[in-house]
Amino acid sequence: MKILRLLLGDQLNSEHSWFDEVNPDMMYVMAEMRQETDYVKHHIQKVAAFFLSMRNFSEELINKSHQVVYYKISDSNNPHNLEQLILDLVEEYKIEQFEYQFPDEYRLDEQLKSICEKLSIRTKAVDSEHFYTSRNELADFFKGKKQLLMESFYRMMRKKHYVLMVGDQPLDGKWNFDHNNRNQYKNEVPIPFPLEFHKNVSEIIAEIEAQNISTFGSIDAEKFNWPTSRNESLQLIDYFCEHLLAHFGTYQDSLFSGHKFLFHSRLSFAMNSKMISPKEVVDAVISYYYENQETTELAQVEGFVRQIIGWREYVRGIYWKEMPNYAQMNALENQNPLPEFFWTGKTKMKCMQHSISQSLSEAYAHHIQRLMVIGNFSLLAQLHPDAVDAWYLGVYIDAIEWVEMPNTRGMSQYADGGIVATKPYVSSGSYINKMSNYCGSCHYKVKEKLGEKACPFNSLYWHFLDEKKQHFANNQRMSMMLALLRKMKPEELAATKEKAISILEDINNL
Ligand code: FAD
Ligand code: SF4
């Protein structure tokens, strides 16, 4: 054996040029390792989805006559550590060259560089051929600029990749249809049933349990519904185009207790594990749009495309521009621990109860649940960004650090001091009431700020603004909020702050 090629659990890209030819001197290695299951506590569905997808992928490679050595989590000869794994294989098979695809996580990038330094054979790192952009493209694009505005990055991406363009202008003359995409869902149109795969994954769950891997969240092991193969991922794209795209943008920001997924695609795991590429997803959606213009509006399509060629590539660029310092940032100096109900969903706040319970039962919450409910509460309650980050990284099926951290620590917690978000995403209960049907059935009263049943978001909001006003003193986008704070009567502010402090002191009983 001459060449050893490593495939990490999120490098399941069967379209990679590595697989263009079968070479008898080439061996691929894949391993389910404790170093990956244990660096943070993961949701059980996340561990199961990665292991299943890896096993399916290795089978796919073997069926195409590639040589694969695969270590299951339960294999007694599994070293559970990347360095040991590579060093042992190099020795055992007299490997002459070690190759890997650039990992997307800083931690693994450093580890692989260090492994290569220890090896006395040739080593080579290649692109993962998944993203539209290279690691440093965003940093180059914004060189010399003070603000890293997503919108300007997005427009560059639209032009560069000729997505929804006519000449050098956006299709229909508008770059952004965000204003069309802010509706609350009120049962006007039926929400289609989500595409279900109903796989029995009991065996792999038993293996994970037998290894005493510490996980959380629940799973219906007889009806597992996440895509774990390229074929299932492709089915999910088709399903999205046919059944969900027509209303995606309209209800993209809606919160609704009657449905877990609304019109969201659930494609993030398939993409983040690289079973499908962002280009395949964008191309499929745009082709569908051109073939079905009588039923699909441009606003829906643009809203979706922006998430992928805009936000997804943008946060990846931010991650590589700012790491490793990004992981330590806590610009607002928030220190509070995570309340217990993040692990149980047991709280009287309907919005939090629904969003957290769903995260625990499905390993999924959609963007506005993550940002404007759980993230909003976390920031208002001044929770430590390390604790918030660890929770988000563990709980969601799609959580890999390069995408989770800029979204959580940056966009949602403003811990990066405004690199990603130009102002903190905080609101009182009124925003949640406007975008959801949560408040009507909540124990708390959304219109009240003081008193036993007052919505906690209300006093926490003003308390947060008051506590952090120095940080935002020069932020133009915060000037209106701070002016309202200044206009508050001193006795009203004092009572509001007292209420907020009592909430924070007894946060586990909310
Ligand atoms: P859809 O709503 O159908 O959107 C389509 C696709 O757009 C997604 O699959 C995703 O690939 C992409 N996308 C949308 N918004 C973003 C964004 N802000 N950043 C990157 N990609 C985006 N996404 C992750 O993939 N992993 C994470 O760990 C993650 N953590 C998040 C944490 C917080 C606090 C917030 C606010 C957002 C986070 N997101 C994360 C972004 C977004 O919430 C998820 O991508 C989305 O909810 C996944 O569900 P979906 O596939 O149904 O998305
Ligand atoms: Fe959430 Fe407040 Fe509405 Fe209750 S009243 S659902 S706590 S925003």
Average pLDDT, rounded, for the chain:
95
- Tell me what the mean pLDDT of segment 190-209 comes to: 93
Strand pairing of 68-71 and 3-6?
Answer: unpaired
The pLDDT confidence band at residue 184, using thresholds 50, 70 and 90, is confident
Ligand 2 pocket: which of 346, 348, 350, 453 to mutate (most atoms within 8 A of CB): 350
Residue 52: the pLDDT is 97
The pair of three-digit structure tokens given for residue 35, joined into one six-digit string: 């170093």
Decide: 439 in ligand 2 pocket, CB within 6 A.
yes
Residue 390: the pLDDT is 97
Q: Which ligand lies nearest to the CA atom of residue 263 in the structure?
A: 1
**SS3 state at 71:** strand
Contact 416, 334 (CB under 8 A): no
Contact 405, 317 (CB under 8 A): no
What spacing in Å lies between the alpha carbon of 269 and ligand 1's midpoint? Answer: 10
What spacing in Å lies between the alpha carbon of 375 and ligand 2's midpoint? Answer: 14
Tell me phi and psi for residue 28, to 5 degrees.
-100, 145
Residue 188: the pLDDT is 87
Residues 237, 276: Cα–Cα separation, whole Å: 9
Which of 187-191, 243-247, 275-279, 369-373 has the lowest average pLDDT?
187-191
DSSP letters of 74-93?
Answer: T-TT---SHHHHHHHHHHHT
- Tell me what the mean pLDDT of segment 260-275 comes to: 96
DSSP 8-state symbol, 128: -
- Tell me what the mean pLDDT of segment 436-447 comes to: 95
What spacing in Å lies between the alpha carbon of 350 and ligand 2's midpoint? Answer: 6
Residues 197, 199: Cα–Cα separation, whole Å: 6
Nearest residue CA, atom 19 of ligand 1?
Answer: 312
- Tell me what the mean pLDDT of segment 423-447 comes to: 95
Long-range pairs, 186-192, Cβ under 8 A, ≥24? 186/437, 187/258, 189/247, 191/259, 191/261, 191/262, 191/263, 192/243, 192/244
What are the residues facing 169 on neighbouring strands? 166
Of the candidates 397, 390, 401, which has an alpha carbon nearest to the alpha carbon of residue 362? 397
Residues 264, 248: Cα–Cα separation, whole Å: 6
Residues 299, 249: Cα–Cα separation, whole Å: 7
Residues 52, 382: Cα–Cα separation, whole Å: 37
Residue 501: the pLDDT is 97
What are the residues facing 30 on neighbouring strands? 70
Pocket of ligand 1 (CB under 6 A): 264-268, 271-272, 307-308, 311-312, 315, 366-367, 370-371, 375, 392, 396, 398-399, 403-404, 407-408, 411-412
Per-residue pLDDT tens for 64-101? Answer: 999 999 999 999 999 999 999 999 999 999 999 999 99
Which of 25-29, 61-65, 252-256, 349-353 has the lowest average pLDDT?
252-256
Residue 499: the pLDDT is 96
The pLDDT confidence band at residue 483, using thresholds 50, 70 and 90, is very high
Distances (CA, A) of 326 to 405, 419, 457: 8, 10, 28
- Whether residue 1 is predicted with pLDDT greater than 80 in this model: the reply is no
What spacing in Å lies between the alpha carbon of 403 and ligand 1's midpoint? Answer: 8
Q: Which ligand lies nearest to the CA atom of residue 400 in the structure?
A: 1
Tell me phi and psi for residue 424, to 5 degrees.
-70, 140
Per-residue pLDDT tens for 97-137? Answer: 999 999 999 999 999 999 999 999 999 999 999 999 999 99
What spacing in Å lies between the alpha carbon of 361 and ligand 2's midpoint? Answer: 21
In one-letter notation, the amino acid at residue 175 is: W
Per-residue pLDDT tens for 341-350? Answer: 999 999 999 9
Decide: 289 in ligand 2 pocket, CB within 6 A.
no
Peptide bond into 324 cis (omega under 30): yes
- Whether residue 241 is predicted with pLDDT greater than 90 in this model: the reply is yes
The pLDDT confidence band at residue 187, using thresholds 50, 70 and 90, is confident
Decide: 455 in ligand 2 pocket, CB within 6 A.
yes
What spacing in Å lies between the alpha carbon of 354 and ligand 1's midpoint? Answer: 18
Nearest residue CA, atom 2 of ligand 1?
Answer: 264
Position in ligand 1 atom list of the atom nearest CA 366? 47
Residue 177: the pLDDT is 85
Q: Which ligand lies nearest to the CA atom of residue 449 in the structure?
A: 2
- Tell me what the mean pLDDT of segment 162-184 comes to: 88
Residue 146: the pLDDT is 86
Residue 258: the pLDDT is 87
Q: Which ligand lies nearest to the CA atom of residue 437 in the structure?
A: 2
Q: Which ligand lies nearest to the CA atom of residue 313 in the structure?
A: 1
Residue 377: the pLDDT is 98
Residues 465, 68: Cα–Cα separation, whole Å: 56
Q: Could you tell me how far CA 140 lies from the centroid of its own chain? A: 24
DSSP 8-state symbol, 307: I
What spacing in Å lies between the alpha carbon of 264 and ligand 1's midpoint? Answer: 10
Residues 175, 189: Cα–Cα separation, whole Å: 27
Residue 13: the pLDDT is 98
What spacing in Å lies between the alpha carbon of 201 and ligand 2's midpoint? Answer: 36
- Tell me what the mean pLDDT of segment 197-207 comes to: 94
- Whether residue 404 is predicted with pLDDT greater than 90 in this model: the reply is yes
Count Cβ atoms below 10 Å from residue 166 Cβ, excluding itself.
10
Contact 182, 48 (CB under 8 A): no
Of the candidates 397, 319, 332, which has an alpha carbon nearest to the alpha carbon of residue 364? 397
Position in ligand 1 atom list of the atom nearest CA 244? 3
Nearest residue CA, atom 2 of ligand 2?
Answer: 455
Residues 341, 313: Cα–Cα separation, whole Å: 33
Reduce the secondary structure of 4-55 to three states and give it as a string.
Answer: EEECCCCCCCCCCHHHHCCCCCEEEEEECCHHHHCCCCEEHHHHHHHHHHHH
What spacing in Å lies between the alpha carbon of 184 and ligand 1's midpoint? Answer: 19
Ligand 2 pocket: which of 184, 346, 347, 351 to mutate (most atoms within 8 A of CB): 351
Counting every residue, how long is the chain? 510
- Tell me what the mean pLDDT of segment 184-194 comes to: 89
Residue 182: the pLDDT is 74
* Predicted TM-score (pTM) of this structure: 0.96
- Tell me what the mean pLDDT of segment 141-150 comes to: 93
Could you tell me what percent of the chain has a pLDDT over 70?
Answer: 100
- Whether residue 449 is predicted with pLDDT greater than 80 in this model: the reply is yes
- Whether residue 179 is predicted with pLDDT greater than 90 in this model: the reply is no
Residue 186: the pLDDT is 87
What are the residues facing 170 on neighbouring strands? 165
Residue 205: the pLDDT is 96
Residue 92: the pLDDT is 94
Of the candidates 197, 202, 206, which has an alpha carbon nearest to the alpha carbon of residue 228? 197
Strand pairing of 165-166 and 169-170?
Answer: antiparallel
Residues 284, 304: Cα–Cα separation, whole Å: 12
Q: Which ligand lies nearest to the CA atom of residue 364 in the structure?
A: 1
